[in-house]
Amino acid sequence: MEYNFTTIEKKWQKYWKDNQSFKTVSKPTDKKYYVLEMFPYPSGKMHMGHVSNYTIADSIARYYKLLGYDILHPMGWDAFGMPAENAAIDNKTHPAEWTLKNIANMKDQLNLLGYSYDWDREVTTCLPDYYKWGQWFILKMYEKGLLYRKGGDVNWCDHCNTVLANEQVTAEGTCWRCDGEVTKKKLEQWYIKVTDYAEQLDADLKLLEGYWPDNVIAMQKNWIGRSVGAYINFNLDDGKDFPIFTTRPDTIYGVTYMAIAWNYDGLLDMCTPEQKNAVEEFIKKSAKIDQKTDYEKEGVFTGRYVVNPFNGEKAPLYAANFVLAEYGSGAVMAVPAHDQRDFEFAKKYNIPVKVVIQNADNSIKAETMTEAYVEDGIVVNSDILNGLSSRDAIKRAIEYATEKGFGKEKVQYKLRDWLISRQRYWGNPLPFVHCEKCGVVPVPESELPITLPMDIEFTVGENPLKKSASFVNTTCPKCGAPAKRETDTMDTFTCSSWYYARYTDAHNDKMPFDPASANAWLGVDQYIGGIEHACMHLLYSRFWYKFMRDIGLIKGDEPFNRLLTQGMVLANSYEAKSLKKFYTQEQMNNKEYEKDGIKKEDIIVKMEKMSKSKANGVDPAEIIELFGADAVRIFVMFVAPPEKDKEWSDEGVKGSARFLNRIWNLFLKYKDEEAFKNAKSFDYNNLSKDGQKLFRKYNKTIKKVTIDIKDRFHFNTAIASLMELLNDMSTIKLANNDDYAMFREVIRGYLILLNPIAPHITEELYQILNFGKMIIEESWVEHDEQYCKDDTFELVFQVNGKIRDRIEADVNISEDDAKNQALSSDKVKQFTEGKNIVKVVYVKGKLVNIVVK
């Protein structure tokens, strides 16, 4: 009987769909399991990264279903975003049409892999039934003082024609999405005050330790950036307050200049008339710098001085390109002797260096320093702090500032408020209007959702919404006068920050979701996605969850109980460096590089993440057509542990297909044998020696596979164990009816163990071999510990430490019997006859070593 994977896979996919096999129960028991992968942007075509991520999640969901859990395993679409709008410009089609068509295509592709989604809970973020509630949340944040509007310098991508949050600018100073140049621009923008939750976001990371990857927790901790220091109020030379934050108040007497952000609000008003032009030019120059890159640290004197409240000394005030207006007060105290950046700046502008921390041998001299001394030490040249250690001086400086009323201890965070304004059409409209009389006015909840207009012309340039008269022109909800609707739309991360909660009650039209449903399912028991989302999506989702808790919608503190960050799928890329051109594997096979005048040895081969730009992607649909969905699923789960990168290999997929064919042929070999068909039960003691050995191997395999999946999700080692068991099953000779009954039980258990990873072939064989219920209705198999212990073991015989023979010995063999068997072995005798036996050493359960001369 041929293994026709195409027919079999279509058959079971249809069955699962028609019978709603994965429909979620409305009210789960306490034994519930919510598994969720980060939902995709509907680009229209699934890639191998999707396959890897979703196969991990599906295998986990199917495993827990077999354990008897109520499962929630939904899927949806993160459907707003710039690619749809850019496609509208390129293809003269509406973003909605483009997006919904892509969703239909990707849904068909996902279904090819037999994933156990409950499609009744599907969410699509670009549809009004979803984004209405995003607008509702924004209004709630506005009511609570968490949403505000302010002007300022923003990151601007000319290519995407929109604002980017700081997190969306790469380390190279380019746009995270299009890789275009990012510049600064002054705009009025909407912000969510996530900084109000900074303390909770930082503290609650402790709840995730041991459940989230350590590196993700570290990345979030670094992004939140909690630091304890001192708030010190210096004064400008005209007496005005000039507050700063420092984590090193022990160096306060070493301040020789002050630095203020180049984009500090009111900087020009602060300058002396003589220096104003120079500062203006410096501001223009600094606006072109991306502070994430390695740029030259520069500044310009403002003409003003700042008075140190500790000693009354005046320090010159410089506008500097390395100070962030958004962090702290937008100004810093500079201690060149003990901060490398301050030191380099001071040397560049001939600013004095004053040593206030001395090392153990008292060798730090300002005039001979070539770099800053940044270690702890003993404080010198610092009046009330002299003689103290750095740590003690920090405490004393804060105490003194507090006593005198010009400072206090303060906790500060690097985390900035979330800029959510985007000057694009294809996003969730912000529910506000602008009235000349009333100012900014929120839209009443009864008028939600504010839907996107269809009379839009898509061109490169200004935000299309501004050109839509039907959208822009409205009346003020407060006074009834003519007003203009807000044309900024929201950052797409606002959509993906709460979708996991909507899945619990996906079609509620009265509220975002029913709290009872949400509390029954949340938090997500296992969340799966890429580590690239550690500092944006995951942080914003944690904030949003806490906000939903605070307005009474939800219980708990964190949305995702466990996080798995899956590795990337890699494949060979082939680059002709001189042409800046990449070739596909097929083009390499056809030697198409020769047409470009390129030699094979000039092609640079690298194992890299699959991507269009590197021409090293593999189309999952094509691979499924060639080898079947189960073979693809087996490959991506077997090639590496889920958190590690996976190297694509055509041979690897072929190997997975051969493995499935072996299972098919071996198991069906017994289908028509009467002893197999009629097998009922068996007695272990009646099994042949080989039968007992296989049954013990089977129980040990159950135990190992269960541990590998449940404790670590290491499906790769689970598959390896099943491959080993298959080898033993392939060679056994069944000797009696008990052997046949045992073998039938082993096949049944084998199919259940493999089912979460390869659901189609296992379900088909389960039915052909008449095991009764469907596997999806079965329970996970359990091992019997008594059969996980071997009756025999391999006893090695050595002569002078070299192996000369092996036998299978009873586990209860005595020392005397073991030594006698070794001495009587013909193979051993070849090396002991005629020689003096010095001693015989027995290592229990392992070996006998005969020492001869």
45 burial level (CB within 10 Å; 0-12, 13-18, 19+): middle
Residue that has been written with the tokens 């030191």 in this structure:
343
Q: CA–CA distance from 680 to each of 672, 686, 739, 745 (Å)?
A: 15, 14, 11, 9
Positive or negative, the CA dihedral 287, 292, 298, 302 is: positive
Radius of gyration of the chain (CA): 35
List C-alpha distances in Å: 625 to 15, 217, 430, 632, 651. Answer: 20, 40, 45, 10, 16
In angstroms, the CA 68 to CA 72 distance is: 13
Integer Cα distance of 512 and 502 in angstroms: 6
Q: Which two tokens stand for residue 409?
A: 């201890």
Which residues, 6+ apart, have CB-to-CB distance to 765 below 8 Å?
Answer: 663, 664, 667, 668, 747, 751
Length of the chain equals: 853
478 is known to lie in a ligand binding site: no
- Integer distance in angstroms from the first to the last C-alpha of the chain? 63
176 alpha-carbon distance from chain centroid: 16
Characterize the bridge pairing of strands 569-576 and 76-77. Answer: unpaired
Burial-class residue 111 by CB neighbours within 10 Å (0-12, 13-18, 19+): middle
Buried b (16+ CB within 10 A) or exposed e, 747-771: bbbbbbbbbbbbbbbbbbbbeebeb
Look up tokens 């359960």; give the residue.
845
Asked if 448 and 136 touch (Cβ cutoff 8 Å), the reply is yes
The phi-psi region of residue 216 (left if phi > 0; otherwise alpha if psi is between -120 and 50; otherwise beta) is alpha
CA angle 59, 61, 67 (to 5 degrees): 105
Rounded to an integer, what distance in angstroms lies between the CA atom of residue 162 and that of residue 183?
11
Q: Quick count: other Cβ atoms within 10 Å of Cβ 613?
A: 10
User: Are 359 and 373 within 8 A, CB to CB?
Assistant: yes
How far, CA to CA in Å, does 762 sit from each of 55, 58, 740, 755, 756?
16, 15, 20, 6, 9
Looking at the chain, the number of H-run helices and the number of E-run strands are: 27, 33
Please provide residue 468's backbone torsions phi and psi, each rounded to the nearest 5 degrees.
Answer: -95, 105
CA distances from 452 to 95, 489, 512 (A): 11, 10, 20
Token pair 């404080």 is at which residue? Answer: 379
The two structure tokens encoding residue 603: 């092609």
In angstroms, the CA 268 to CA 287 distance is 15
Q: Which residues, in sequence order, are bridge partners of residue 565? A: 529
Sequence-ordered list of residues with C-beta below 8 angstroms from that of 518, at least 6 positions apart, any chain: 501, 504, 505, 553, 554
Feature table: binding site for ATP: 612
Feature table: binding site: 612
